[in-house]
Amino acid sequence: MKLEAKREQLLKPLQHVIGAVERRQTLPILTNVLLTAQEQNLILTATDLEVELSARAELSVETPGETTLPARRLHDILRALPEDATVVLNVEGDKATMRCGRSRFTLVALPAADFPTLEDLPFEGDIRLSQGALRGMIERTHFAMAQQDVRYYLNGLLLEAAPGILRLVATDGHRLAFQELKAAVDVVEVRQIIVPRKGVLELLRLLADSDAEVALKLGVNHIRLVLGEIRLTSKLIDGKFPDYQRVIPRESSRVVIADRMALRSALARTGIVLNDKTQGIRLQLEDWVLRAQAQNPNQEEAEEEVEINYNGGPMEIGFNVTYLLDALGALNGELAKLSFSDAASSCLIEEAEGEGGRHVIMPMRL
């Protein structure tokens, strides 16, 4: 295998796929990147057996072939070379030589036949929407995913595809984030799949805030994202996601309408006195006033008052302040709507106007 290319032609696709390479692997081949050189292009592929990333670069190949090279070593070398430099890569047996001007590097190559790939997978459903729309939905839900929960099905993001509708849901058992969007969803019946945390984070890293179209392909055990010359394939979590519809409150006797950013700023200031172990904040509701109070174990206190539209009578309730800040930050509108039933019931946070997402937060005992 032999090819000649500009530094950027090799570095850019490598940067797209290197997120799938774990620094510590029990299998040495998984620390490598697969290079497949065809006549007019080079395909780079990396995997950790859960997520696979591949990117294609158009360039002239002198001698087609396949090999695998140490991904991070190759990345470091390319980053260190001058911009617009020309790189000649020649692979013979288990040795790869890279030349650039007066620089020469020799790397150990492992056989391409030993590299695990996810090429021939069956995909049934197809979803098409803009990059920006998908990225926005993920940004407004992924923070509610659980981390290393024994309920493994919570350590990911639920993707629910219905004809013409795409829904994303995340929950850690204490809060829930929900987003819904009309999209070109080609499925016959409602399908639910759970994308693991790493796949979700790689999606966020790859997606741009643009109108360019992206395609999601749904399989039995995998999901695939096709984004121009980049392709991401992720395994799915095998489990049943909780019935999120039952968690979202339908009717509430107390409703608060507030300036979203004013309320979020007040909560953030009040939360300054809290530490990692004490994240609880007390909300006191009175007609037209919300009072936020926080106290830490050292008896340091903070209090803020926010003017609100509310006349449901006095109520006091506690919440994790981080959950409140995340939910308010995920909304778009100027006004936020907080719906309560009583001090022991969950709070529904959504935009006062519009079809934004919904966020449910369970109360805390303070």
Spatial separation of the C-alpha atoms in residues 233 and 188, rounded to whole Å: 22
Token representation of residue 82: 């001058």
pTM of the model: 0.92
DSSP assignments along 191-230, one per residue:
EEEEEEHHHHHHHHHH--SSS-EEEEEEESSEEEEEETTE
The whole-number average pLDDT for the span 343-348 is 95
What confidence tens digit (pLDDT) does each residue in 168-206 have?
A: 999 999 999 999 999 999 998 999 999 999 999 999 999
- Which pLDDT does position 278 carry in this prediction? 86
Closest CA to 109 of 79, 78, 52, 71: 71
Closest CA to 254 of 190, 309, 323, 332: 309
Q: What CATH number labels 123-245?
A: 3.10.150.10
Closest CA to 226 of 16, 41, 71: 16
**The dihedral sign for the CA sequence 109, 114, 115, 120:** positive
Do the beta carbons of residue 34 and residue 46 sit within 8 Å? yes
Strands 41-47 and 103-108: unpaired
User: Between 75 and 353, whose confidence is greater?
Assistant: 75
DSSP single-letter state for residue 149: -
Domain boundaries, the chain: 2-114, 123-245, 248-361
- pLDDT band (50, 70, 90) for residue 119: confident
- Which pLDDT does position 122 carry in this prediction? 87
Does position 153 have pLDDT exceeding 90, yes or no? yes
Token representation of residue 125: 């459903």
Cα 48 → chain centroid: 17
Same fold, 123-245 and 248-361: yes
Does position 333 have pLDDT exceeding 80, yes or no? yes
- State which amino acid sits at residue 64: P
- In percent, the amount of the chain with pLDDT more than 70 equals 100
**The dihedral sign for the CA sequence 269, 275, 278, 279:** positive
Q: Name the CATH architecture for the domain at 2-114.
A: Roll (3.10)
**Tokens 């997606």 sit at which residue?**
207
Give every CB contact of residue 161 below 8 A, 6+ residues apart in sequence: 125, 127, 167, 185, 187, 190, 191, 192, 193, 218
The whole-number average pLDDT for the span 205-225 is 94
Specify the CATH superfamily of domain 248-361: DNA Polymerase III, subunit A, domain 2 (3.10.150.10)
